Structure 1
Amino acid sequence: MKKLSVVAVGSALMFAALPASAEDLPPPPFISAVAISDGQIDAAVTRLDSLAEALMKKTGIPGMAVAVVKEGKTVYAKGFGIRRVGAPDKVDADTVFQLASLSKAVAGTVVAHEVGAGRVSWETPVIEYLPWFRLKDPWVSEHVTIADLMSHRSGLPDHGGDNLEDIGFDRRAVMERLRLLPLDPFRISYAYTNFGFTSGAEAVAVSAGKDWATLSEDALYKPLGMASTSSRFADFDTRANKVVNHVPVNGSFAPKYQRQPDAQSPAGGVSSSVNDMARWMAMVLEGGTYEGKPIIDAEALLPAISAQMISGPSSAVAARPGFYGYGFNVSINPAGRVQLSHSGAFSSGAATAFTMLPSAGVGIIVLTNAWPLGAPEALAAEFTDLVQFGKIERDWLAAYGARLAAVNRPTGSLVGKERPRNPAPAARLSDYVGTYSSDYYGTLDIVRSGEGLAVRLGPAGKPYKLAHWDGDAFTFEPSSENATDGSISLATFKKQASSFGSVTLESLDENGLGTFARK
């Protein structure tokens, strides 16, 4: 067997076959436990058609697109299925999908471009460009950096701010309200936050004097020739060759919701095709260059694609930890290789994933137009198994599907419970009617609706019908990216003296901020 030696080529590290000798061996950090035999990657590529078709048949998802890059070239790009149930249009390698949280890795490379250009550094404090930005702790507000926010170590709670977007607040309004969220210890706590991440990216856009979508175009999409890629929903919406997202309806997939993610565009708002994303993967795997053309400075890119924060502490001494870079999951896989990855999911009907093996110069991306069932992650895992081991090691769909089931599960403590048979009576409905307010969520109106009540919440003002539960407790059915169909929320009114002084919405109370005081 030939030995591998690490050879410096420009600023990138490449592996070359050289005669075996002790001094030619790569240093220990570069050694993988399992060698990849000649032709094994190509053999894995030949299996993709049948693997993709099998996953689609098993899950029922309408459409999928897949691409593979190897040594800087696209070696596979293909579409499967249809763009929309009930229409004949087929998915191909140029069909545009919403990437969901896979957008974070793309955003990480946009910021790396700006770092390489010298406009910012990863350690630039965010308030340098967003002087109005604050978190609950004044010291953290002064010191939190682009790197802190894009590695999810700011102390913000998990998915902090997402509910604000659900009820209609725009990016600036959500970011301003992050100051009211409780914080975990700074730089030693990991919690995945779309709007924390977005805040870091927004500071970079301001430093460039551009909006985020334009910066992404200028720094990345145009130089890479990604003509079908955008960080604006309006661009996705006007594409002729695009998918429609699907959710389960009466036992099969159907189009029902359309996610508009501009508020968190850096974290979840990219749309693209697998042909375009293959160019991006090739650039990352080639250390910031594409077809010999420099796109991102390698030294600026390296922090984004290397471990910066422990995202998954070891559950046992023999278990490998997980890490996060700046928009990338970074792990050591069972073959002993560094693996870069990210998944994306919209409960409104999209699921995506990529996996890259830098030491092998290979990456795969999988995009689908159905809510998250684990299919993109499973196909990527099956492929990387074949690349490294020559066989599929386990039932990856079962493994990922079990974890992702929680993403789709309806929320609320009353889900699955029967209504009380003999509930305590409510007060007069007119006693509940009025305007209530919260510093975090803004204004809530309780209004009459037919014979009953409804709640109107946030800038969107969408009404939700209230149904009496017990005493001064009512229920409604929220419907949003963070509350899938079937979710139930309590709305509990509390008396102060002779009138109702507040109402608490269970669906908004995760961080203890779901109580609205009567005006």
Structure 2
Amino acid sequence: MIRLAVLAISPRLLWPLLGAFIGLVPAPAGADDAESSPATLLPAPIAPVPPLLDRQHVEAAVGRLDDVVEAAMAKTGIPGVAVAVVYRDEILYAKGFGLREIGQPALVDTDTVFMLASVSKPITSTILARLVGDELFDWDDPVRGHDPSFALSDPYVTENATFSDLLSHRSGLNTGAGDLLEDLGFDRETILSRLDQQPLDPFRSTYHYSNYGYTAGAVAAAKAAGEPFEDLAQRLLFEPLGMSRSSFRHADYLSHANRARIHVRVGDPAERRWEARYDRMPDAQAPAGGASGSILDLAQYLRLQLGAGTFEGEPIVGAGALATTHLPHIAGRLPADPTERAGFYGLGWNVGYDDLGRVTLGHSGAFVLGTSTAILLLPGEALGIAAVTNGEPIGVPEAIGSTFMDIAQHGEQTVDWLSFIGGFFAQMMAAERDGPDYAEPPARAAPPRTDDAYAGTYDNSYYGPLVVEADDGMLSMKLGPADAPKRFPLTPYDGDVFTFEPIGENAAPLSAVRFRSGGDGSANSVTLEFYDRAGLGTFHRN
């Protein structure tokens, strides 16, 4: 029986939660029915669940993987995929499929470098576990003790937020806090320095997926180590594991000739085609989403995880510190009724339990601009799968992983995972697009004032200055870092309301710019609807 809580969440929260789909796979054939099995009546885990799979089960599923991947590619047209399976410290399968770039002949292979997006998070928590194991700091240390610049809007949270709080998304920062600054081109230091203006939900009792809360924790760890985070990753993890094609620097990804370009779907829904339209530069949030690497590199990483921190007989990460990352730290998904299972977030991992009480670990990664990835683990079976793609998130890597686990446990696929998970993605993306439609102005739209009424500089402590300019009868606004602001044309909509097209990973359809006038007829403030999600989007004329 598959139990799934209905999630009313933003797609930005969807990507990590989908990494836990492994926990939805029913009990293996031959096991007692989930409704009556004693294992399902006990709080899990009371004791380790004995392994239920053997090499024959796993190898049979591996033998079906080519067909699983090729069917997913045929149905979706996604350009490139790479998959690896690790079982009992052995890489049983590693293979690339399709194209690095649509329209180009170069093929994906096991050395092709992909952007990993939020699969970066469990990699980062593993690096921090290494430092915890080396006793440089403890998971429950307040981060401000290691990074005095860390600050949030509540002084108590500022002083008491720990590494565990930030890496489990329970600081109170809202989902996406800081992401819109990144879309505008602001750097990591600037974004982190402005988090103290973000409103907070209750500390340690609310779960909100925050890339920059997570990044703040990694930055504090790097400061404790006296070394840039990107260098720590190379020295403490990538080099010991032989992950020679992995990095947290986007320039390193771009330097590889054998890399997968990211792709989005364009055109009408009935005739969509894939196109390598964008680059996505995630250096500002690198610990949360900026890693890149090959499928062979990820296979080595899975060996470390399933080996409790040991790799080829050598201890790399302290077993206790690593195990802490796998524990539930907060409920990320609460069941709608008692027949459903809750989902939890650890430190960089979605943590769940299947019908037999086995721990499941997973994480998805996605950039709407063109990449999707997933890793799924059954630690008690010493089994893991990684799947990476160079296409926008539509559920392909999650479906490949869940289908593989389904076949390993049942001998056959029992659920159409691609349709199930793909439909879930489509539902969440449609919900994100819901909102005011500014495509056409009202039938009786009022004309705008003269350009001089709007032109000028407006201040905002979070986003920085907004400059509205008039040029040949056209208004535009400039917003972003002083050395490289982004320019947005403004289109009259209705009186003092204009529209503009947002940019970046979190971009949405047309949004509104609402000017408000003072007593002299000129605008004295303006609110950018798209940038006002947390109430920070109003600018005042200086």
Same fold (TM over 0.5): yes
Is 1:388 the counterpart of 2:388? The answer is no
Say which SS state the counterpart of residue 387 (structure 1) adopts: helix
2:474 matched residue in structure 1: 452
Map 1:13-412 onto structure 2 (within 5 A): 29-30=46-47, 32=49, 35-36=52-53, 39-250=56-267, 251-405=272-426, 408=429, 411=433
Q: Which amino acid aligns with 2:528?
A: L
Q: Give the AA of the match of 1:190.
A: Y
Whether the 8 Å contact between 2:439 and 2:510 is mirrored in structure 1 is no
After the TM superposition, which of the residue ranges 460-469 and 143-152 deviates more from structure 2?
Answer: 460-469
- The 8 Å contact of residues 372 and 407 in structure 1, kept in 2 or not, is answered as no
Displacement, 1:337?
Answer: 1.8
Query: Cα offset for 1:180?
Result: 0.6
User: Which deviations, in whole Å up to 9, do the C-alpha atoms of 1:275-296 show, x marking residues without a partner?
Assistant: 0110000110010001111110
Q: In the aligned structure 2, how far is the partner of 1:446 from the partner of 1:421?
A: 26
Instruction: State the Cα distance separating 1:32 from its structure 2 match.
Output: 4.6
Task: Indicate the residue corresponding to 2:534 in structure 1.
Answer: 511
Distance, in Å, in 1 between the alignment partners of 2:424 and 2:540 is: 38
Residue 450 of structure 1: how far off its partner (Å): 3.6
Name the SS of the counterpart of 2:477 in structure 1.
strand
- Give the aligned residue type for 1:245: I
Q: Residues of 1 paired with 2:122 and 2:305: CA distance?
A: 10
Amino acid at match of 1:247: V
Gap change, CA 1:205 and 1:411, over 3 Å in 2: same
Please tell me the residue identity of whatever aligns with 1:118. E
Amino acid of the structure 2 residue aligned with 1:514 = G
Q: Does 1:414 align with 2:436?
A: yes
Q: Kindly indicate whether structure 1 or structure 2 has the higher relative contact order, using CA contacts under 8 Å at least 6 residues apart.
A: 2
Is residue 426 from structure 1 mapped to residue 467 from structure 2 by the alignment? Answer: no
Q: How far apart, in 2, do the equivalents of 1:56 and 1:150 lie?
A: 34
User: Runs of 5+ in structure 2 lacking a partner?
Assistant: 1-43
TM-score by length of 1: 0.92
Would the alpha carbon gap of residues 449 and 396 (structure 1) be closer, same or farther in structure 2, given more than 3 Å must change?
farther
Q: Judging changes above 3 Å, is the alpha-carbon distance between structure 1 residues 174 and 411 closer, same or farther for their aligned structure 2 residues?
A: farther
The one-letter code sitting in structure 2 at the alignment partner of 1:294 is P
Question: What root-mean-square deviation, in Å, do the aligned CA atoms of Structure 1 and Structure 2 show?
Answer: 1.6
* Distance change in 2, residues 1:221/1:234 (3 Å): same
Q: 1:474 aligned to 487, 498, 512, which one? A: 498
- Equivalent pair of 1:345/1:371 in contact (CA under 8 Å): yes
* Distance in 2 separating the partners of 1:35 and 1:105: 26
Change in CA separation of 1:411 and 1:480 when aligned onto 2, cut-off 3 Å: farther
Cα distance, 1:48 vs. partner? 0.4
Q: Distance in 2 between matches of 1:31 and 1:230?
A: 35
Q: For 1:112 and 1:89, how far apart are their aligned partners in 2? A: 38
- Once the 2 structures are TM-superposed, how far is the Cα of residue 184 of structure 1 from its aligned partner? 0.7
> In the TM superposition, what is the alpha-carbon distance from 1:37 to its structure 2 partner?
5.3
Indicate how the Cα distance of structure 1 residues 502 and 489 shifts in structure 2: closer, same or farther if over 3 A, else same: same
Identify if the C-alpha distance between structure 1 residues 403 and 426 changes in structure 2 by more than 3 Å, giving closer, same or farther. same
Deviation at 1:31, TM superposition (A): 5.5
* SS of residue paired to 2:207: coil
In 2, are the aligned partners of 1:449 and 1:465 still within 8 Å (CA)? Answer: no
Structure 1: distance between partners of 2:215 and 2:159: 18
Q: Distance in 2 between matches of 1:351 and 1:300?
A: 28
Contact kept in structure 1, 2:115 and 2:292, CA below 8 Å: yes
How far has the Cα of 1:411 moved from its partner? Answer: 4.5
Is contact 1:34–1:336 with CA below 8 Å preserved after alignment?
no
CA deviation vs aligned residue, 1:230-275 (integer Å, no higher than 9, x gap) = 0101110101110100011222001111000000000000000110
In 2, the alpha carbon distance for the partners of 1:197 and 1:53 equals 35
SS in 2 for 1:210: coil
The Cα shift of 1:408 comes to 4.8
Name the TM-score, length of structure 2 as normaliser.
0.88
User: 8 Å contact 2:90–2:303 — kept in the other structure?
Assistant: yes
Q: CA deviation at 1:128?
A: 1.2
Q: Distance in 1 between matches of 2:101 and 2:79?
A: 7
Counterpart-to-counterpart distance in 2, 1:510 and 1:64? 35
Q: Which has the higher strand share?
A: 1
How many positions carry a matched residue from both structures?
Answer: 491
Secondary structure in 2 aligned to 1:242? coil
Letter in 2 for 1:92: D
| 1:437-491 CA-partner distances (Å, limit 9, x unpaired) | 111111111112443111111114111111111010000111210015xx11100
Q: Say whether the 8 Å CA contact 2:451–2:473 is kept in structure 1.
A: no
Distance across 2 between alignment mates of 1:450 and 1:253 = 37
For residue 407 of structure 1, report the CA deviation from its aligned partner: 6.1
Deviates more, 1:128-137 or 1:87-96: 128-137
The Cα offsets for residues 85-108 of structure 1, whole Å up to 9 and x where unpaired, read as 111000001100000001001001
